[in-house]
Amino acid sequence: MRPTGTFMAVDDSPLTRASLLVQIRDGSNHRAWQEFVGLYGPVVYGFARKRGLQDADAADLMQDVMRSVSTAVGRLEYDRNQGTFRGWLFTITRNKIFNFLSARRIRPQGSGDTTTNRLLDAHPDASDGSEVWELEYQRRLAALAMERVKGEFQENTWRAFWLTAVEGIAAADAGKQVGLSPGAIYVAKSRVLARLKEEVEAMQHDEEPSE
Amino acid sequence: MKTSIGCLQTDELRQMLDGSLSGERQQECTAHMDSCECCQARIEELAVEGTNLSQVVGQLQESQPVANSAYWPALKALDRSVAPESRDSNPEMQQTFVPKSSPTRRDVALDFLEPASDSAYLGRIAHFDVMRVLGRGGMGLVLEAFDSRLQRNVALKVLDPDLAEDEVARQRFCREARAAASITHENVVAVHQVEKAGGDGLPFLVMQLIGGESLEQRLAREKQLSFREIVRIGMQAAKGLAAAHALGMVHRDVKPGNILLETSEDRVKLTDFGLAHVAEDVKLTRTGFVSGTPLYMAPEQALGEPSDHRSDLFSLGAVLYEMCAGRPPFTGNSALAILKQIADAKHRPLRELNPSIPDWFAEVVDRLLAKKPGDRIQTAAQLAELLEYEWALMKTTSDDVPAVCAIEERKRTVRNRWIAAAIGTTFLALGLAGGWFISNRGPGPDAVPGSSAEPVAVLAANAGAVWSVAFDPAGDNVVMAVEDGSIRVWDLPAKSIKSTFHAHNGVVWVSRYSPNGELFATAGDDGLIKLWNLPQADVAQTFEHPNAVRGLAFGHSDRRIFAGSRDGSLNVWSPDSREPLLEARQPGAAYVVAISPDDETLASAGSDKVVWLWNAKNLTQKLKLEGHSGPIFSLAFLPDGRRLASVGWDKTIRIWDTSSGLLLKSWKGHESDIWSIACTPDGTKLATGGTDGAAKVWNAETGELLATFFGHKSGIHTVAFNRDGTLLASGGRDGAVRIWPIQ
């Protein structure tokens, strides 16, 4: 375990939890802020969608959460010892979704009411949401990792991976599109996966150095 | 010719992954993989090494924002509003502009927009990047847009392109809009400017963007508003109308859809002044019919007779009626039927539909709905005044004014004396019979969560309102500053008065112990600050000030005394000198001062709604913390010194970062003015007291409400924690100090 204080000074990876937070805290680093929203915005949005929110509501919620972060971020130093940043963000997101759904329930809106009640009842205290949240986060990390490693592969290797692993197309069909045998497709897919795994782990380590 | 080989060894599979297998063997193995499902699965398993990466990647596109998702405009909006330059200027403002939910509508014709410079926007008009459609009315479209010149989000009201073809309509639109732009009032949506797309193109209004909903939306989801809320909305709408009428503007289309309820400030804002007229005229001349709903139209408007500002009062009356009754006063199956009703029929008495509405209010609505303009309440200002008066009574009767007085006040305002007498007698009888009057208004102690605790002591029988209370840091005494100029020292364990001494001529505003308990200071309306030797109550030092001293604070490690006065002057004193060490002045009156734990920063606040931070060493100004919408009554530094809490008239509790000046958190704390805030020595909890008579304890970190203590019969002026944060003292207008246990 590295002490967070020195770690942030040395590592200038924008994904580094500590350095990214330090950068967005001083309020003047717009790039860091964009980086931050780029990492966590889709996580919040995706989680909200998974909780049953419509596209527009989930987008509004994402804005709302990020605004809260931007105003509260100066206080983060205090929070750091109380848990991971991701956990903190999860709490904010979960609470806002719960409030959103509760507000819906109190104010019936036509037929949407039943759905909302169902959504609320299905997650009475939302404690089970952490797994979904975690999964959303991993997806986001995977997506970012893919952007980073894509350039390392030949185009047909990457396509083989993309078609089979992401789009779920059968290896035989993918093979026809890319011009590789099914076996080669499997090898290509697995090679990319192995590289992705490495990258995700590195990012994850940067992101939560204390874990 | 392929040779069939057996399943691959794990090592070989690994080598295939990292490409270290020889070319020939690689080909053989790859060929084997063509058909061997077992090896296909194993190589993938090896690649991800027991992680769920395959699953994660497989679901990558699930729930992610698609290309036309509202996510992208939201991201853009976020990026703009949280951009450093705008974020620093006013973090609070940034939070209000997004309506609660308004999905982008794709069914609206937006072909008048130029192509967007960025795909995140729907399009562009003049120098405005349009983010989404907020709504559409009879007159045109309302859009949310980013003003790329002034770098702010605004609402655009675009005249319906169909109407814009009519030259008369265009001219009128621009004229009315310019007139509307001249109204500056907190209850009217500000019109920033009138623009034309591309010089001579489509005219549109640039307006303040309000976060919230219209009264129409509110009524749609919440059929019955509380009476207090109805009066508040009516009062503020009347104020907005009064401001417009004073400039000779008539609204002509007061209706729930044009009354906006701002979420963040509890503020009501009128919009669309004079604009109904534009659309109306064009459609009338084309079709002979007025389109849209005439539900709130005044009889003279319905009959096509000349209308004036009193028509707006009729419409507002109809809105008030709907808020109480759940439906407008005149309804019908067709516009014509409604118009006929408005012209001829008497509305059904309000109290038949909602018996809980007080007579005085039903009477006000009746008068507004009078058929002849001359029979109505004549001006919006009168109406606003009347409603404000009643509203203030509702705000205070439950605690500040004894029941009998409240009835006397009521008598004066109700026009119909006979009814007034009847109400008076009824209330008087009930009031005398057993306090019904008090116990039946507002949420009582039982209705509020977390109000279970009983005070451990009630130190009553003080000779007037208590304005300040302090725990002796070294002992068991509780000291209170009383309105009659006296200081009372109570022995807490014995619950008895230890001593009473006269301290000031006039109110004693504040009393403070120095942190080590060695000094005790009081400040009064007579402009004096006195240092006392306790318990003998000898004056050790007196500092003179030309004006009432409201705020007082002791340095934590030095012996300096910081004071703030009603004239806005700030002074630093030493116990050893009668001359101030330092002087400065803030705008308006100073009601409170606070000194940071490291004695580096002095905070002062008062009537100018701003918290001022000063370098305590030389009283040079450090930062301005702006955000409160009314006077600030109390401040408390948190022990970390980085955070400062402030409260006041606007009912909110705000936590500021004192190094950056950013607002960290703010939330509504009480139903009415908050007079006092205190922090526990460990910084985990905040306590507040307000004119609603409640003392509340909050988690200082999250703002979560931990406890609410009821017991005071009227407003609380002061709250203070004891030295270990286990007890909270609250004192107020009822002359009592209550000591509450803190969990």
Instruction: Give residue B182's pLDDT.
Output: 81
Of A63, A146, A193, the CB nearest to B54: A193
Instruction: Give residue A9's pLDDT.
Output: 26
Instruction: Give residue B685's pLDDT.
Output: 94
Q: How far is CA B110 from CA B122, B223, B268, B352, in A?
A: 8, 34, 30, 47
Residue A51, SS3 per DSSP = coil
Decide: residue B377, CB within 10 A, 0-12 exposed, 13-18 middle, 19+ buried: buried
Decide if pLDDT at B613 tops 90: yes
Q: Is residue B217 part of a domain?
A: yes
Instruction: Give residue B221's pLDDT.
Output: 79
Q: What is the pLDDT of residues A38-47, one digit of tens each?
A: 888 999 999 9
Of A55, A60, A108, the CB nearest to B98: A60
Question: Across the interface, do A37 and B78 touch by the CB < 8 Å criterion?
Answer: yes
Contact B504, B520 (CB under 8 A): no
Q: Is residue A147 part of a domain?
A: no
3-state secondary structure B64-93: CCCCCCCHHHHHHHHHHHCCHHHHHHCCCH
Task: Give contacts of B18 with chain A, Cβ < 8 Å.
Answer: 194
Which among A117, A140, A163 is the end of a domain?
A140
* A162 and A104 part of one domain: no
* B185 and B310 part of one domain: no
Question: Strands B590-595, B191-196: parallel, antiparallel or unpaired by DSSP?
Answer: unpaired
Q: How far is CA A140 from CA A39, A46, A67, A146, B172, in A?
A: 7, 9, 20, 10, 53
Instruction: Give residue B81's pLDDT.
Output: 67
Cα separation of B329 and B340, whole Å? Answer: 13
- CA–CA min distance A60, chain B (Å): 7
Instruction: Give residue A56's pLDDT.
Output: 87
**Is residue B220 within a helix (H) or strand (E), and if so which, with residue range?**
helix B215-221
Which among A85, A113, A140 is the end of a domain?
A140
Question: Strands B508-513, B191-196: parallel, antiparallel or unpaired by DSSP?
Answer: unpaired
Q: Is residue A185 part of a domain?
A: yes
Instruction: Give residue B479's pLDDT.
Output: 93
Question: Across the interface, do A67 and B95 touch by the CB < 8 Å criterion?
Answer: yes
* A179 and A203 part of one domain: yes
Contact B603, B637 (CB under 8 A): yes
Q: Is residue A148 part of a domain?
A: no
Cα separation of B704 and B277, whole Å? Answer: 48
- Phi, psi dihedrals of residue B333, rounded to the nearest 5°: -80, -20
For residue A55, which amino acid is it?
Answer: D
Using pLDDT thresholds of 50, 70 and 90, give the confidence band for residue B722. very high
* B252 and B351 part of one domain: yes
Which among B186, B207, B228 is the end of a domain?
B207
Q: Is residue A118 part of a domain?
A: yes
Q: What is the pLDDT of residues B335-364, one digit of tens each?
A: 677 878 888 889 999 988 888 889 889 999
CATH code, B372: 1.10.510.10
Closest Cα in chain A to B83 = A30
Q: Is residue B603 part of a domain?
A: yes
CATH code, A174: 1.10.10.10
Q: Which domain holds residue B402?
A: 397-442
Instruction: Give residue B133's pLDDT.
Output: 79
Residue with tokens 């100073």, as numbered in its chain: B590
Which among B377, B410, B442 is the end of a domain?
B442
CATH code, B127: 3.30.200.20
Considering just the CA atoms, what is the radius of gyration of chain B in Å? 33
* B227 and B325 part of one domain: yes
Decide: residue B638, CB within 10 A, 0-12 exposed, 13-18 middle, 19+ buried: buried
Closest Cα in chain A to B91 = A71
Question: Across the interface, do B44 and A34 touch by the CB < 8 Å criterion?
Answer: no
Of B17, B58, B74, the CB nearest to A166: B58
Look at B61-65, B381-385, B554-558, B674-678 and tell me which has the smallest mean pLDDT: B61-65
Instruction: Give residue B145's pLDDT.
Output: 86
Q: What is the pLDDT of residues B584-607, one digit of tens each?
A: 999 888 999 999 999 999 999 998
Mutation site, B33, B45, B57, B702, interface A, largest A CB count within 10 A: B57
Contact B741, B729 (CB under 8 A): no
Residue B405 CB neighbours (<10 A): 12
Tell me how many residue pairs between chain A and chain B have CB atoms under 8 A apart.
Answer: 186
Instruction: Give residue B265's pLDDT.
Output: 66
- CA–CA min distance B364, chain A (Å): 30
Q: Per residue of chain A (211 residues), what is the pLDDT tens digit? A: 333 322 222 233 334 445 566 666 666 667 677 778 888 899 999 999 888 888 888 998 998 888 887 777 665 554 455 556 777 788 888 888 888 887 765 544 444 445 555 554 444 444 557 888 888 888 888 988 888 888 788 888 899 999 999 888 888 888 888 888 999 999 999 999 999 998 888 877 765 544 3
* B639 upstream amide cis, omega within 30 of 0: no
Instruction: Give residue B600's pLDDT.
Output: 92
Task: Give contacts of A56 with chain B, Cβ < 8 Å.
Answer: 70, 101-104
Residue B574 CB neighbours (<10 A): 16
* A26 and A89 part of one domain: yes
* A111 and A210 part of one domain: no
Contact B553, B562 (CB under 8 A): yes
Decide if pLDDT at B210 tops 90: no
- Provide the mean pLDDT of chain B: 79
- CA–CA min distance A7, chain B (Å): 24
Mutation site, A139, A152, A166, A203, interface B, largest B CB count within 10 A: A139
* A10 and A112 part of one domain: yes
CATH code, A131: 1.10.1740.10
Q: Closest Cα to residue B712, out of B526, B317, B438, B321?
A: B438
- Phi, psi dihedrals of residue B739, rounded to the nearest 5°: -110, 120
- CA–CA min distance B512, chain A (Å): 30
Residue B514, SS3 per DSSP = coil
Could you tell me the sign of the dihedral formed by the alpha carbons of B505, B507, B510, B512, in that order?
A: positive
* B622 and B689 part of one domain: yes
Contact B690, B716 (CB under 8 A): yes
Q: What is the pLDDT of residues B385-415, one digit of tens each?
A: 889 888 877 754 443 333 222 333 333 333 3
Which among B165, B184, B207 is the end of a domain?
B207
Question: Strands B663-668, B674-679: parallel, antiparallel or unpaired by DSSP?
Answer: unpaired
Closest Cα in chain A to B17 = A191
Instruction: Give residue B675's pLDDT.
Output: 92
* A25 and A98 part of one domain: yes
* B561 and B472 part of one domain: yes
Closest Cα in chain A to B70 = A56
Q: What is the pLDDT of residues B152-179, one digit of tens each?
A: 788 888 877 767 777 777 777 777 777 7
Count the domains in chain A: 2
Question: Across the interface, do B62 and A46 touch by the CB < 8 Å criterion?
Answer: yes
Cα separation of B316 and B312, whole Å? Answer: 6
Which two tokens mark A175? 């093979």
* B714 and B568 part of one domain: yes
Task: Give contacts of B29 with chain A, Cβ < 8 Å.
Answer: 183
Question: Across the interface, do A37 and B75 touch by the CB < 8 Å criterion?
Answer: yes
Residue B180, SS3 per DSSP = helix
Cα separation of B208 and B404, whole Å? Answer: 45
Using pLDDT thresholds of 50, 70 and 90, give the confidence band for residue B697. very high
- CA–CA min distance B173, chain A (Å): 32
B634 beta partners: B647
* B545 and B651 part of one domain: yes
CATH code, B610: 2.130.10.10
Q: What is the pLDDT of residues B362-389, one digit of tens each?
A: 999 999 999 999 999 999 998 998 898 8
Look at B239-243, B327-331, B419-423, B596-600 and tell me which has the smallest mean pLDDT: B419-423
B542 beta partners: B530
Which residues of B are designated catalytic?
253
Q: What angle do CA B691, B696, B697 make, to 5 degrees?
A: 155
* B505 and B371 part of one domain: no
3-state secondary structure A90-142: HHHHHHHHHHHHHHHHHCCCCCHHHHHHHHHHHCCCCCCHHHHHHHHHHHHHH
Question: Across the interface, do B44 and A67 touch by the CB < 8 Å criterion?
Answer: no
* B431 and B451 part of one domain: no
Considering just the CA atoms, what is the radius of gyration of chain A in Å? 20
Question: Across the interface, do A55 and B17 touch by the CB < 8 Å criterion?
Answer: no
* B548 and B646 part of one domain: yes
Using pLDDT thresholds of 50, 70 and 90, give the confidence band for residue B83. low
Of B64, B84, B95, the CB nearest to A42: B64
Question: Across the interface, do B17 and A62 touch by the CB < 8 Å criterion?
Answer: no
Question: Across the interface, do A30 and B83 touch by the CB < 8 Å criterion?
Answer: yes
* A31 and A134 part of one domain: yes
Of A64, A78, A183, the CB nearest to B30: A183
| % of chain B residues with pLDDT over 70 | 82
Decide: residue B273, CB within 10 A, 0-12 exposed, 13-18 middle, 19+ buried: buried
* A55 and A99 part of one domain: yes
Q: Is residue B414 part of a domain?
A: yes
Q: Which domain holds residue A183?
A: 153-211
Question: Across the interface, do A55 and B69 touch by the CB < 8 Å criterion?
Answer: yes
Q: How many CA atoms lie within 13 A of A46 on its CB side?
A: 25
List all residues 6 or more positions away from B522 whose beta carbon is below 8 Å from its beta carbon: B481, B487, B503, B504, B508, B510, B511, B512, B529, B530, B532, B552
Q: Is residue B50 part of a domain?
A: yes
* A123 and A166 part of one domain: no
* B174 and B249 part of one domain: no
Closest Cα in chain B to A172 = B34
Count the domains in chain B: 5
Question: Across the interface, do B73 and A142 touch by the CB < 8 Å criterion?
Answer: no
Instruction: Give residue A194's pLDDT.
Output: 92
Q: Is residue B153 part of a domain?
A: yes
Question: Across the interface, do B82 and A107 touch by the CB < 8 Å criterion?
Answer: no
- ipTM field: 0.78
Which two tokens mark B554? 């002791």
What mean pLDDT is predicted for residues B222-242?
A: 90
Task: Give contacts of A57 with chain B, Cβ < 8 Å.
Answer: 101, 103
Q: Is residue B1 part of a domain?
A: no
Decide if pLDDT at B471 tops 50: yes
Task: Give contacts of A200 with chain B, Cβ < 8 Å.
Answer: 51, 53
- Largest pairwise CA distance in chain B: 113
- CA–CA min distance A160, chain B (Å): 13
* A179 and A129 part of one domain: no
* B295 and B422 part of one domain: no
Q: What is the DSSP string of B152-176?
A: EEEEEEEE-HHHHTSHHHHHHHHHH
* A129 and A193 part of one domain: no
Q: To the nearest 10°, report the CA torsion of A19, A25, A31, A36.
A: 70
Q: What is the pLDDT of residues B630-678, one digit of tens each?
A: 889 999 999 999 999 999 988 999 999 998 888 899 999 998 889 999 9
Closest Cα in chain B to A26 = B660
Question: Across the interface, do A63 and B74 touch by the CB < 8 Å criterion?
Answer: yes
Q: Is residue B107 part of a domain?
A: no
Using pLDDT thresholds of 50, 70 and 90, give the confidence band for residue B318. very high
Q: What is the pLDDT of residues B487-535, one digit of tens each?
A: 988 888 887 888 888 899 888 999 999 888 888 999 998 889 999 987 7
Which among A111, A140, A169 is the end of a domain?
A140
* A179 and A85 part of one domain: no
Cα separation of B428 and B443, whole Å? Answer: 22
Instruction: Give residue B199's pLDDT.
Output: 59
Instruction: Give residue A152's pLDDT.
Output: 81
Q: Is residue A146 part of a domain?
A: no
Of B64, B74, B77, the CB nearest to A46: B64
